[in-house]
Amino acid sequence: QVQLVESGGGLVQAGGSLRLSCAASGRTFRMYSMGWFRQAPGKERAFVASITWSGGSTYYADSVKGRFTISRDNAKNTVYLQMNSLKPEDTAVYYCAADGDYSGAYYYRWDYWGQGTQVTVSS
């Protein structure tokens, strides 16, 4: 199995930056796709970004393209989400996810989840 722990959330002003980290444990980490999702109060959990196990392919929601960057360091068993030019509408709980054969936008297809970390962007 895979255990995921997010960190790096916090309060930031609009236009600022945050870097989220997701530390993974498990023998098969390097074979998993990794993703980031977010959920704002009263809204459905939404896809943010994902990266394949090799790091060769990345995917982004239209709302974050050009502002967010997903990356992974398999040697450190960690996936990152660099968030720049943050907007108030980015405010949400951000969740890290892992899956052995899926890297798409449908949250219910992902098998493993972290506990979430709060990101709040003030205007």
Nearest to 121 by CA among 81, 92, 82: 92
Task: Convert the pLDDT of each residue in 57-116 to its tens digit.
Answer: 999 999 999 999 999 988 888 999 999 999 999 999 999 999 988 999 999 999 999 999
Question: Residue 53: which pLDDT band, with cuts at 50, 70 and 90?
Answer: confident
Asked if the model's pLDDT at residue 55 lies above 80, the reply is: no
- Output the pLDDT for position 27: 66
Enter the tokens of residue 50. 């994902």
Cβ distance 48 to 38 under 8 Å?
A: yes
